[in-house]
């Protein structure tokens, strides 16, 4: 990262079951300049989840205190629980020149865009709704009622996809990860070129 160039924010959204968490892990393994902001939530940990790795698990009182105190860059109330992004980590990484990846829903993405922070938004689509339903059922972790609610929510979220900067279909995981990596690299090249082109003219700016 050239001196004086701050990092950039990338927002990744997708319906539940599309595989965005798996994609995030693959992106981080590929890219040492990318930082992932672990979301805060009031929901209980699922089997195998670790506090501070998968989520920062907070009590409802702590989360609501954070809302009042401006702790969160964005937050939303989803499926009866709060989810949010701690702004302190994000702003510190950006100031240090790292690019930051947020894995958040459509509500959160709109709030990030409204916050004034420059962000590139990426929406991950399933190949088809029937493929998404198959993935949700294959997990065998949720009731029929929850699956139906998630599918209804997926349809609503997909209707919001056109306002995102980029759309990527996760049919073959490796190909989808490569597509998102290419978007990140292209944004870096654009910012780097602009910085270098302006360097001789900085005294005039």
Rg (CA), the chain: 18
DSSP 187: H
| Cβ atoms of residues 15 and 22 within 8 Å | no
How far apart CA 58 and CA 73 sit, in angstroms, is 16
H-type alpha helices, 15-86: 20-30, 60-69
Tokens of 14: 């997708």
Annotated binding site for ATP: 14-21
Which of 37, 40, 20, 36 has the alpha carbon at shortest distance from 28?
A: 36
Question: What residues are designated binding site?
Answer: 14-21
DSSP letter assigned to residue 19: -
d(CA 46, CA 40): 14
For residues 162 and 165, give the distance between their C-alpha atoms in angstroms, rounded to a whole number: 8
| Residues 9 and 118 sit within 8 Å (Cβ to Cβ) | yes
């Amino acid at each position: 990262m050239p001196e004086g160039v701050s990092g950039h924010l990338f927002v990744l959204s997708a319906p539940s079951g599309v595989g965005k968490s798996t994609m995030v892990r693959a992106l981080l393994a590929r890219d040492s300049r990318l930082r992932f902001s672990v979301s805060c939530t009031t929901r209980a940990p699922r089997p195998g989840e670790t506090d501070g790795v998968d989520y920062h698990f907070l009590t409802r009182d702590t989360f609501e205190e954070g809302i009042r105190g401006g702790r969160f860059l964005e937050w939303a109330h989803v499926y009866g629980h709060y989810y949010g992004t701690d702004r302190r980590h994000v702003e510190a990484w950006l100031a240090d020149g790292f690019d930051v990846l947020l894995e958040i829903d459509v509500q959160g993405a709109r709030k990030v865009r409204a916050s004034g922070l420059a962000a590139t938004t990426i929406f991950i689509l399933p190949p088809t709704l029937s493929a998404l339903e198959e993935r949700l059922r294959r997990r065998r972790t949720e009731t029929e009622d929850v699956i139906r609610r998630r599918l209804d929510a997926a349809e609503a979220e997909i209707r919001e996809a056109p306002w995102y900067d980029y759309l990527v279909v996760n049919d073959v995981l490796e190909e989808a990860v490569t597509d998102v990596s290419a978007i990140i690299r292209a944004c870096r090249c654009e910012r780097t070129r602009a910085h270098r082109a302006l360097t001789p003219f900085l005294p005039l700016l």
